[in-house]
Homo-oligomer: A and B are copies of this chain.
């Protein structure tokens, strides 16, 4: 397996061991920055435009100045060129607010192998437990300081939620709202099939992250013979869906095979969705 690489503007590709961040970088002191994770396939980033669009939206939510778009594109190209074409990769594009006492944003990209557990989940599906995020589904809509929909570097709660799920023997978390709706996973979007309608949770109304993979899938629902809609849903409604999936840029698509300890029936549509998305199984 190829070792992780890091690409820094002006420096090019450096070994991952090479330190690139100052101790007073607000990206680490405050988790104050934005990032995107992209799938690298055949040496190219998948859905780069969509990811750069979302990064720009995240940066606006954080009042963060990004470098010009062509510089981010060049950085991604440099990083992908250092990754073997035959191997899929997970690329992270990071932009922090830079040093606390002032200075330019810190920007870099890193490519690493797709983690084994994510590759496996494409075939084996995931066992999911629900966990509340504590607030009502609409709470973030009118509270921009809560950064709903922004992909910031502050993922400590996301990581703690996943650790909590794994201690309970599950693979993943489905965050729920205090008023009982299913929202998203800590690093995944929720997608489900209701009859012939392929659905995901509305990002605008709820502050969930607008998933690039989920969006692409819904935009191509016609290829599968489905229509597409953003909808609210409860965990109990998911039990009668014709399929429930977790999607993300690195994972692709994994069937939810178990929800809160109860098996969901395997969906006959998982194979067609995965074929459409084109991630290696």
Contact = CB atoms under 8 A, between A and B. Distances in A.
Contacts of A154: 31, 153-157
A108 to B, nearest CB: 5
Given A6-B23, A31-B153, A62-B156, A134 B131 contact: no
A159 interface: yes
Given A24-B4, A164-B144, A30 B134 contact: no
Most chain B C-beta atoms within 10 Å of own C-beta, residue among A30, A144, A159: A159
A30 B159 contact: yes
B160 A24 contact: no
Contacts of A134: 134-136, 139-140, 143, 146
Interface stretch (A95-103, A235-243, A259-267, A268-276): A95-103
A269 to B, nearest CB: 31
A162 to B, nearest CB: 8
A229 interface: no
Q: How large is the interface on A (under 10, 10 to 19, 20 to 34, 35 or more residues)?
A: 35 or more
Report how many copies the assembly holds: 2
Nearest to A186: B145
Interface stretch (A14-22, A119-127, A191-199): A14-22
A29 B29 CA distance: 12
A270 to B, nearest CB: 28
Contacts of A146: 133-134, 157, 160
Contacts of A31: 28, 31, 152-156
A179 B110 CA distance: 43
Contacts of A82: none
B29 A35 contact: yes
B144 A160 contact: yes
A110 B24 contact: yes
Contacts of A33: 28, 156
Interface of A: 4, 6, 8, 16-33, 35, 61-63, 92, 94, 96, 99-101, 108, 110, 112, 131-136, 139-140, 143-147, 150, 152-161, 163-164, 173, 178
